[in-house]
């Protein structure tokens, strides 16, 4: 059930929602909710994979203080 709710929220394609749910505070919870797809016979381990194998890097801003590009 939680999978369908989160999938529905993502399918809304709202920039404001994406900024909130894909931020540092919620991203692992969102990924965790997507592990429980009832159509897949076994639980996926996306969070474990991300924690053990992926190196997250900070995005470099290309904007100056006055919001113009470098």
- CB of 31 closer than 8 Å to CB of 22: no
This prediction has a pTM of 0.68
Report yes or no on 25 lying in a domain: yes
- How many domains are contained in the chain? 1
Q: Is residue 59 part of a domain?
A: no
- Spell out the per-residue pLDDT of the chain, length 70, in tens: 899 999 999 999 999 999 999 998 999 999 999 998 889 888 889 999 988 998 878 888 788 877 787 6
Question: What pLDDT does 54 receive?
Answer: 87
Domain of residue 25 covers 2-53
CA 40 to centroid of chain Cα atoms? 20
Asked if the structure places residue 19 within a domain, the reply is: yes
38 lies in some domain: yes
Asked if residue 42 belongs to a domain, the reply is yes
């Amino acid at each position: 059930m939680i999978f369908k709710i989160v999938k529905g929220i993502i399918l809304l394609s709202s920039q404001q929602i994406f900024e909130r749910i894909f931020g540092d505070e919620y991203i692992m919870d969102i990924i965790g909710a997507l592990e429980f797809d009832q159509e897949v016979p076994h639980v996926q381990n996306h969070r474990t994979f991300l924690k053990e194998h992926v190196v997250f890097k900070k995005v470099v801003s290309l904007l100056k203080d006055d919001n113009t590009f470098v």
